[in-house]
């Protein structure tokens, strides 16, 4: 992202007083006034940001250092809660599960999105505009509703897709079994997000000057070469960003498994994903301090990945 600071180049001759002043730098007083005005414009946002994000996070870190017992009340316990969370197999099994989920879901979503964006951009498919609209529709469907629909479609015995799978020769299909629950959630998330990813890639493709493609065609380059040598390199920043966004989303997976658990409670365990672990610990079991520690750990995990990816992109020169 470019952060050009162009405020230095304002015409020096124009001052707060009327008309044209002798050419000299703005007086320090009017400069200070401009600074204050700027800060005044920013401050309402800062106030809400502080009250509803920074203060709560600070408080969560504070309370993660304490332990509340039924007898004896609340007492300082240092990093004990962190040790409990990090020593919990349940927490790590959730981390493992979302990592596995991400390894499959992210490339699948971005890959499908890329495939269709290229097809529509080149006009290879007919009715491209219609398809783009259809693919984007799930963006308007809350994850809760999407999960409810899919739960019914995949219901054991009665679900239409379950019946279809049986007709196609699958033996006793159960999409909520421990073997299939992760692929099931992957299908739901791919359904939800492919169109969104495709729209971003499509816009990025449209921004590539067509003269580049024309020149390649005149040189006799086949379509696959044009895609590989011209389109993909130009799409790289958008692709990297989408992979990163999808990854962060995948690690926070919560809504889909939480709704599926309403239909098949045994399919989704207490710590199925780290976010579910945080929720069930804090809200379900009312262990607020422990939940706070888990939330902090999750935040650090995801924040760490984000920082690493940003610095990676900065090093490769994609961010200035």
* Residues 6+ away with beta carbon under 8 Å from 291: 278, 279, 281, 282, 283
Task: Please say whether the beta carbons of 63 and 278 come within 8 A.
Answer: no
Handedness of CA 278, 282, 284, 287 (dihedral sign): positive
Torsion angle in degrees (nearest 10) through CA of 206, 208, 210, 212: -160
Task: Please say whether the beta carbons of 75 and 163 come within 8 A.
Answer: no
Please say which residue, 115 or 178, places its beta carbon nearer to another protein: 115
Q: How far is the CB of 157 from another protein (least distance, A)?
A: 9
Hey, what are 108's tokens?
């699948």
Please say which residue, 79 or 149, places its beta carbon nearer to another protein: 149
SS3 call for 20: strand
Q: How far is the CB of 274 from another protein (least distance, A)?
A: 8
Please say which residue, 259 or 269, places its beta carbon nearer to another protein: 259
Q: How far is the CB of 182 from another protein (least distance, A)?
A: 19
Q: How far is the CB of 83 from another protein (least distance, A)?
A: 19
Q: How far is the CB of 194 from another protein (least distance, A)?
A: 8
Neighbours of 110 (CB within 10 A): 23
CA distance 166 to 195: 29
Q: How far is the CB of 39 from another protein (least distance, A)?
A: 5
CA distance 257 to 152: 14
């Amino acid at each position: 992202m470019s952060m050009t600071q162009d405020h230095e180049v304002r015409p020096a001759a124009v001052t707060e007083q009327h008309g044209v002043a002798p050419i000299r730098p703005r007086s320090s007083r009017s400069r200070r006034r401009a600074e204050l005005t700027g800060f005044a414009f920013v401050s309402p946002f800062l106030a809400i940001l502080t009250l509803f994000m920074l203060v709560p996070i600070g408080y969560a870190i504070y309370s993660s250092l304490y332990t509340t017992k039924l007898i004896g009340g609340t007492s300082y316990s240092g990093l004990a809660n962190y040790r409990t969370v990090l020593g919990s197999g349940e927490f790590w099994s959730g981390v493992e599960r979302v990592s596995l989920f991400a390894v499959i879901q992210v490339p699948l979503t971005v890959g499908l999105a890329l495939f269709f964006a290229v097809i529509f951009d080149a006009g290879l498919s007919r009715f491209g505009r219609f398809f783009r609209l259809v693919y984007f529709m799930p963006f308007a469907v809350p994850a809760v509703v999407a999960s409810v629909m899919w739960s019914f479609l995949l219901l054991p015995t009665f679900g239409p897709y379950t019946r279809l799978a049986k007709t196609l020769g699958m033996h006793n299909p159960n999409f909520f079994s421990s073997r299939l629950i992760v692929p099931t959630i992957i299908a739901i998330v791919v359904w939800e997000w492919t169109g969104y990813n495709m729209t971003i890639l499509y816009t990025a493709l449209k921004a590539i000057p067509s003269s580049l493609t024309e020149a390649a065609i005149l040189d006799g380059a086949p379509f696959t070469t044009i895609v590989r040598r011209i389109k993909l390199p130009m799409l790289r920043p958008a692709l990297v960003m989408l992979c990163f966004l999808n990854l962060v989303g995948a690690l926070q997976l919560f809504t889909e498994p939480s709704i599926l658990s309403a239909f098949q409670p045994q399919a989704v365990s207490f710590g199925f994903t780290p976010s579910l672990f945080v929720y069930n610990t804090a809200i379900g079991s009312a262990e607020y301090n422990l939940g706070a520690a888990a939330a902090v750990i999750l935040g650090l995990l995801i924040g760490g990945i984000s920082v690493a990816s940003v610095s990676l992109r900065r090093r490769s020169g994609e961010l200035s």
